[in-house]
């Protein structure tokens, strides 16, 4: 690992499943603070607010498999994908994973987040948040965006450009249309 990654990469939060000694019917609840890197969507950076995310993990044993439940309330902030103003998204993330250590590595009953009896809560939380994000992060549902001609914010200054001249690159097609 290079010096930058060692200094600036967030800590990976894991749970050592061996120390829990879970038997069938047992349930353990863990509350952890997870530090996640910002999300980059459409070239824009979206930060967690606050930067450390509290998550609740519930671990139970059933029929030889371990069941993991994760819940978190998330707030992401960054630019609106239409007008670049401040935008905020609040999500309630709730997800479940199963892990049967006797299942083949490619089986659905084997969690990708469990390695050597350690549950990688950071990766699991990040993936769960990513799956819950809306297709577009907007400052408000009816955001009008930016004017494609002049770049002004259409929310603050709604307008239209009626005097648009056609792009000169289309002239050859116009001539062809006129001949037909």
Decide if 72 contacts 122 (C-beta within 8 A): no
pLDDT digit string (tens) for 77-120?
999 999 999 999 999 999 999 999 888 877 888 899 999 899 99
pLDDT digit string (tens) for 50-68?
989 999 999 998 878 899 9
Q: Hey, CA dihedral for 127, 129, 131, 134, is it positive or negative?
A: negative
pTM score of the predicted model: 0.79
């Amino acid at each position: 690992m290079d010096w930058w990654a060692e200094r600036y990469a967030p800590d990976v939060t894991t749970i050592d499943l061996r120390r829990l000694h879970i038997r069938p019917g047992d349930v353990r609840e863990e509350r952890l603070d997870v530090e996640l890197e910002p999300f980059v969507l459409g070239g824009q950076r979206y930060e967690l607010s606050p930067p450390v995310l509290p998550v609740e993990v519930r671990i139970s044993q059933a029929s030889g498999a371990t069941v993991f439940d994760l819940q978190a309330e998330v707030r992401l902030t960054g630019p609106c994908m239409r007008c670049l103003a401040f935008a905020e998204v609040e999500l309630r993330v709730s997800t479940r994973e199963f892990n049967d250590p006797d299942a083949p590595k490619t089986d659905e009953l084997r969690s990708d987040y469990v390695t050597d009896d350690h549950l990688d809560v950071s990766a699991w939380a990040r993936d769960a948040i990513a799956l819950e994000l809306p297709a577009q992060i907007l400052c408000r549902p009816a955001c009008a965006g930016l004017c494609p001609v002049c770049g002004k914010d259409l929310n603050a200054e709604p307008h239209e450009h009626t005097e648009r001249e056609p792009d000169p690159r289309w002239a050859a097609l116009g001539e062809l249309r006129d001949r037909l």
